[in-house]
A = this chain, B = another copy of it.
């Protein structure tokens, strides 16, 4: 697991070294602020790991890794405006600390900075990297739009929900691995497999996030237990509950949504979910994606050790719930 510590340190240093001009300060200060809020740096790490797997040096993969991280942060800054989120990683969001206009515009400029980093790659990888990056950026926007659309709908199916989180969160992890593999000059087949690994891992990870919100140990999760339930957020849990419920249980779900007392609301939800076996159903969907992710690792053909991929896989899979 030492490599995770090493990569994290490397990435933190590289991110710290991304210097923005001092003026206009209202444009650039929010970026320095937001980029140093922390985060797991899982996506840029994926690029470094994929590069390493296909023998590309870290100095060659770092620009793509940083481009992915900057894009991710751009999308978070804009998502936070749209979601009216007051906090991100426990700190005040950009639109709250400054205002919506500044958050829109500094997000925009961060997006350009991602492309600037992308353009620093060796010329010969530029076209496939751009193709991967553009395709993914479009998908992430589509996913965010679907997420907003779904908030207005009561009939979102499991498949629709899975497609939404695939677009909104998972394809970016897939692209992060893909870009490392492109720079490592991996075969088309291997690129396809490592991309599939990332997407399936991302899906499993996101489902696990939904699970941990209600069933995680709140100290470890680092946020209020049942926050999604209290906010009546659409998650895989609420969607599975709705589709498993009979008509009286559906009525019960509606009543729970109206409950004002937070403890009661969570307890009533837990009770109904237990009757409906929601936790088990959700785990089974999640395990399916972890299984697919594991199969994608197996399908990668290389002489190099897959240890890092497998370690990352296990760390994510073993998050406690």
Contacts and interface: CB of A to CB of B under 8 A. Distances in A.
Contact of A82 (B101, B131, B142): B101
A82 B103 CA distance: 10
19 contacts: A24-B145, A24-B146, A26-B145, A26-B148, A26-B149, A27-B145, A78-B104, A78-B105, A78-B108, A81-B101, A82-B104, A82-B105, A104-B104, A109-B141, A112-B134, A112-B138, A115-B134, A119-B130, A123-B127
B131 A112 contact: no
Given A112-B138, A134-B116, A137-B112, A101 B26 contact: no
Interface string A109-125: 10111011001000100
A121 B123 CA distance: 14
A119 B104 contact: no
A262 to B, nearest CB: 27
A270 interface: no
B105 A131 contact: no
Contacts of A127: 119, 123, 126
Q: Is the interface of A mostly helix, strand, loop or mixed?
A: helix
Contacts of A126: 126-127, 130
Contacts of A249: none
Interface of A: 23-24, 26-27, 78, 81-82, 100-102, 104-105, 108-109, 111-113, 115-116, 119, 123, 126-127, 130-131, 134, 137-138, 141-142, 144-146, 148-149
B115 A148 contact: no
Contacts of A24: 142, 145-146, 149
A113 B102 CA distance: 23
**Residue from A131, A141, A146 whose CB has the most chain B CB atoms within 10 Å:** A141
Contacts of A134: 112, 115-116, 119
Contacts of A100: 81, 100
A100 B99 CA distance: 14
A112 B130 contact: no
A81 B137 CA distance: 22
**Residue from A82, A102, A105 whose CB has the most chain B CB atoms within 10 Å:** A105
Contact of A108 (B102, B113, B141): B141
A194 to B, nearest CB: 22
Contacts of A78: 104-105, 108
A97 to B, nearest CB: 16
Contacts of A116: 134, 138
